[in-house]
Amino acid sequence: MTAQPSDIEKAAGVLRAGGLVALPTETVYGLGANAEDPAAVSRIFRAKGRPPNHPLIVHIGGAEQLDDWVEEVPASARLLAEHFWPGPLTLVLRRGRRVPLEATGGLETVAVRVPDHPVALALLSAFGGGVTAPSANRFGSVSPTTAQHVRTELGDAVDFVLDGGDCKVGVESTIVDATGDTLSILRPGGVTREDLEAVLGHPLAVPTTSRVRVPGQHPSHYAPRARVVLVEPEKVAAEAQLAQELGHQVGVFLPPSFADTPVKAHAVVALPASMAAYARGLYGFLRELDEQGCDLIIASLPAEEGLGLAIANRLRRAAGPRPTA
């Protein structure tokens, strides 16, 4: 059930007491702590099983609070903040004194965003401070887009879960590095490159997937249990059938243009034609195929434009090499 005003008060109290609150945002659920409480921030890393040198995002209640958390805001970053907040955009800027190094993984920069979700905004307003929160999943696995996903992933490691329903964007925020002379996209996400460029009036650099630029973005991030294999869209059905015949329990992401192709596989997800619907469903689809017992997922990359850029980025990472240990 969606969080009530009494739940918001309770969650704000948990944050004040140094506890961990899972909170809904428009992108994915976050695992939040008081950004100014180093001990609480350290608990996040333990709960996630995440190495402590991975920087977190500080969530704030409005663009007007940005200067309280960072040292210097270039005009271009201010323009983006005013245009896209609240929304799925994270700005990396120089760390303000308020932000402990525990929250930035020791970096002198800090990532900040204003989430576009009524429950998150109500919590930030009731709490009054900043809430540092990574996605509320175990390190390396698929981000949660429902309160139930959070409970399944983190169980007792989180003190309180605020339920805000299904996340409407479904992939994480776009991260823009605004610390240098020119802005660049560190992670594609819910705000498209095209929308950013339209507001800025010039093109933006986007990372190539082979280059791991954002600290904490290992190739095998966002991975389900099943191995993910990417093939050309027209080969999805045939590759799936072959792997199934070889004894795999195959899950298929069937592209909309091949919706009528018969597929022999263990489980089939008929992908929606709209990229917004695909992004919203992506992590749920991966979880679903895991739950159905698939050991292999055959998928293809969408066109890398609009939200397709973020979806392709997450699929590539899900298909990336896994730690062998």
Binding residues vs ligand TXA (CB under 6 A): 25, 27-28, 30, 54-57, 88, 90, 92, 104, 107, 109-111, 115, 133-135, 172-173, 175, 186-187, 214-217
Q: Helix 118-127 and helix 5-16: axis angle, to 10°?
A: 50
At its nearest, how many Å lie between Mg ion and the CB of residue 9?
A: 28
Nearer to ligand TXA, 112 or 250 (CB): 112
Name the residue nearer to ligand TXA (CB basis): 132 or 300: 132
Of all helices (H) and strands (E), which one includes residue 277?
Answer: helix 275-291
Cβ nearer to Mg ion, comparing 90 with 135: 135
Q: How far is the CB of 310 from Mg ion (least distance, A)?
A: 13
Q: How many other CB atoms sit within 10 Å of the CB of residue 119?
A: 21
By a kind-dependent CB cut-off of 5 to 8 A, residue 146 interacts, out of Mg ion, ligand TXA, none, with none
DSSP code for 214? S
135 binds Mg ion (CB under 5 A): yes
The H-or-E segment that residue 193 falls in is: helix 193-200
Amino acid letter at 289?
A: L
* Binding-site partner at residue 111 among Mg ion, ligand TXA, none, CB < 5 to 8 Å by type: ligand TXA
Alpha-carbon distances of 159 from 21, 165, 278, rounded to whole Å:
6, 19, 31
CA 90, chain centre distance (Å)? 11
Tell me how far apart the alpha carbons of residues 292 and 290 are, in angstroms, rounded to a whole number: 5
CA–CA gap between residue 110 and residue 103 (Å, rounded): 8
Tell me whether strands 227-230 and 296-299 are parallel, antiparallel or unpaired.
parallel
**Nearer of residues 38 and 216 to Mg ion, judged by Cβ:** 216
Binding-site partner at residue 133 among ligand TXA, Mg ion, none, CB < 5 to 8 Å by type? ligand TXA
Residue 41 or 252: the one with the smaller Cβ distance to ligand TXA is 41
Q: Which does 175 bind (CB under 5 to 8 A by kind): Mg ion, ligand TXA, none?
A: ligand TXA
Tell me the closest approach of the beta carbon of residue 105 to ligand TXA, in angstroms.
7
Q: Between residues 55 and 233, which has the closer beta carbon with respect to Mg ion?
A: 55
Q: Which of Mg ion, ligand TXA, none lies near 123, with the C-beta cut-off 5 to 8 A by kind?
A: none
CA distance 72 to 230: 42
Total residues contacting Mg ion (rule CB under 5 A)?
1
Q: How far apart are CA 274 and CA 127, in angstroms?
A: 37
Using only C-alpha atoms, the chain has a radius of gyration, in whole angstroms, of: 20
- Looking at the DSSP assignment, which residues form a beta bridge with residue 49? none
Q: How far is the CB of 186 from ligand TXA (least distance, A)?
A: 6
Smallest separation (angstroms) from ligand TXA to the CB of 110 = 5
* Residues at the contact surface with Mg ion, assessed by CB under 5 A: 135
